[in-house]
Chains A and B, each alone.
Chain A
């Protein structure tokens, strides 16, 4: 049953993957003028331009170029970076662990921040506490992550000296310590989005029959919350995180830049100044694939978290 479901889900993903590869392939077509000339900038000589043309197959028909692109992507071969003079595949691969760690850390923190607030608001629905929490969420929707990061770095990092403000550190513990402030920044900036959705899903959870039954059976509010509501709020929490994984990634791109972390996001941004268009393509592709993977994994996690989920 699970295998058949997994198979069908994987088949559904294929057209999306093809579409993603097509979008990423077409990205470089947006460069005004000759991409080879744009890539080389002031270094452009007729020989170099001709070499790039043949390297990227720019002299072939566009569908051949796409198939070539697809072929090399499937082999994980993105060519050589002009700026870094190493293989782009290796460069990107080396940056993945930090970004994934930051994403996971930030996701965990945002749930820790948002879940209690959303639970409180849902319990006191319509009351003063609910109104206050909702206003807090609404008021922080426009919180710019780069601004927040700079201020947190100033206050918690520079003034109080609690956390390092740049670099990734070395080793697991030191690395986590270095990622704490960046992850906190992302978590704070995404908490309003996650908290608002969680609040409305939790209101539905609190309306469920099992809560009414528990109350009727004379269970204390504490027992109902801790043993039933909390467990049942995990599914909405995972859903909300999975739906918003794109925002989390956006936050990572910004925060990596603010805290000088060598992840995929800072690679993306610095590659713009170095005109490494292929790196931009590779990072965009990897991050889109990551979203697809997370959404797939979420569907599978439902089954583990909630035995009532019916596979179709």
Chain B
């Protein structure tokens, strides 16, 4: 058992280094970019002298300058530090908003694909119904009922986007169910849970990670849209969508209030999309082998 866990942790370690060493620039650039953004978000207090929420009215609405690289808002708050601190919130939106549906959807998809029958029938019908709703509309409707805020957003996203993961995993399990390694595990008399989580899961989960990367982008966009509508994070907390909403009325006079938070969303989206594309490429190459 000890030997097994050592080889496993070694394998995980090798997997993570491989993410950087395998050929393909997209994945490497994307990963490096994501790491840099995460680092900037963590080190925000070291990188800027300004508190993102403290008012400084004498310096209101200043255009970008050396002192305020991204300018200031009508309250004199430094946009650069608000964008930096905003990365904390928006990265959190992307990660939590994906982690919950990923885990739930994967588990449901595994069970559905593995057992088939009436369980699969019911889960399949539920998936059909949820995917019929436009994603943003259902998320907004649920948040409207629960009341604005991040917690409502996470609940809404979890209720809606697990189906995407369940669908992918279910499809993968259906095609893997008849493979030799699954049959071998069955003949060895392993329990269903062991076959599902120790044998099937590692083989079907990569596809989900590729989707998760684009889902992170989608979640950040959705979270920011809700912030923009006043349904997500509430002002004065720096969140990129909220910041764009705050800049809306000043767009003709202070374009920097709107421009920079939007660019931040685009850049983070690009990095995660690159990681996703690169991972898809790796999986394609492994499958082709």
- The number of inter-chain residue pairs (CB within 8 angstroms) is 148
**Residue among B134, B142, B267 making CB contact with A30, cutoff 8 Å:** B142
Given A140-B266, A142-B266, A142-B268, A257 contacting B145 (CB threshold 8 A): no
Query: For chain B, what secondary structure do more than half of its interface residues adopt (helix, strand, loop), or is it mixed?
Result: helix
- B132, B142, B147: residue with the most chain A Cβ atoms closer than 10 Å: B132
Taking the complex as formed, is A291 at the interface, i.e. its CB lies under 8 A from any CB of chain B? yes
Taking the complex as formed, is B91 at the interface, i.e. its CB lies under 8 A from any CB of chain A? no
Determine if A150 and B137 form an interchain contact, defined as CB atoms under 8 angstroms apart.
no
Given A15-B125, A141-B217, A143-B269, A287 contacting B142 (CB threshold 8 A): no
Query: For chain A, what secondary structure do more than half of its interface residues adopt (helix, strand, loop), or is it mixed?
Result: helix
Would you list which residues of chain B between 265 and 280 have a CB under 8 Å from chain A?
A: 265-270, 272-274, 277
Determine if A291 and B135 form an interchain contact, defined as CB atoms under 8 angstroms apart.
no
Given A15-B125, A147-B262, A287 contacting B140 (CB threshold 8 A): no
**Residue among B133, B214, B225, B270 making CB contact with A144, cutoff 8 Å:** B225
Would you list which residues of chain B between 206 and 232 have a CB under 8 Å from chain A?
A: 214, 217, 220-221, 224-225, 228-229, 231
Given A27-B142, A30-B146, A292-B132, A268 contacting B137 (CB threshold 8 A): yes
Determine if B277 and A142 form an interchain contact, defined as CB atoms under 8 angstroms apart.
no
Determine if A27 and B141 form an interchain contact, defined as CB atoms under 8 angstroms apart.
yes
Name the segment of A119-127, A178-186, A277-285 touching the other chain: A277-285
Q: Which of the four size classes fits the interface of chain B?
A: 35 or more
Given A19-B129, A140-B266, A268 contacting B141 (CB threshold 8 A): yes
- Distance in angstroms from A138 CB to nearest chain B CB is 5
Taking the complex as formed, is B31 at the interface, i.e. its CB lies under 8 A from any CB of chain A? no
Taking the complex as formed, is A102 at the interface, i.e. its CB lies under 8 A from any CB of chain B? no
Determine if A249 and B132 form an interchain contact, defined as CB atoms under 8 angstroms apart.
no
Taking the complex as formed, is B144 at the interface, i.e. its CB lies under 8 A from any CB of chain A? yes
Determine if B266 and A249 form an interchain contact, defined as CB atoms under 8 angstroms apart.
no
Tell me the complex Cα distance, A16–B130, Å: 9
Determine if B225 and A254 form an interchain contact, defined as CB atoms under 8 angstroms apart.
yes
Determine if B255 and A154 form an interchain contact, defined as CB atoms under 8 angstroms apart.
yes
Taking the complex as formed, is A300 at the interface, i.e. its CB lies under 8 A from any CB of chain B? no
Would you list which residues of chain B between 199 and 258 have a CB under 8 Å from chain A?
A: 214, 217, 220-221, 224-225, 228-229, 231, 241, 244, 248, 251-252, 255, 258
Determine if A16 and B270 form an interchain contact, defined as CB atoms under 8 angstroms apart.
no
Would you list which residues of chain A between 146 and 160 have a CB under 8 Å from chain B?
A: 146-148, 150-151, 153-154, 158
**Residue among B128, B136, B217, B269 making CB contact with A249, cutoff 8 Å:** B136
Would you list which residues of chain B between 170 and 219 have a CB under 8 Å from chain A?
A: 214, 217
Closest to A265 in B: B137
Taking the complex as formed, is B22 at the interface, i.e. its CB lies under 8 A from any CB of chain A? no
- Distance in angstroms from B233 CB to nearest chain A CB is 15
**Residue among B126, B261, B265, B273 making CB contact with A19, cutoff 8 Å:** B126
Taking the complex as formed, is B60 at the interface, i.e. its CB lies under 8 A from any CB of chain A? no
Determine if A250 and B136 form an interchain contact, defined as CB atoms under 8 angstroms apart.
yes
Tell me the complex Cα distance, A144–B241, Å: 9
**Residue among A27, A153, A257 making CB contact with B229, cutoff 8 Å:** A257
Binding site for B on A (CB under 8 A): 15-16, 19-20, 22-23, 27-28, 30-32, 138-148, 150-151, 153-154, 158, 245-247, 249-250, 253-254, 257, 268-269, 271-272, 277, 280-281, 283-284, 287-288, 291-292
List 27 contacting pairs A-B, 8 Å CB cutoff, sorted by A: A19-B125, A20-B132, A23-B129, A30-B146, A138-B277, A139-B273, A141-B214, A141-B217, A142-B265, A142-B267, A142-B273, A144-B221, A147-B244, A147-B262, A153-B251, A245-B134, A247-B134, A247-B135, A254-B136, A257-B229, A268-B141, A271-B144, A272-B229, A277-B144, A284-B138, A291-B133, A292-B132
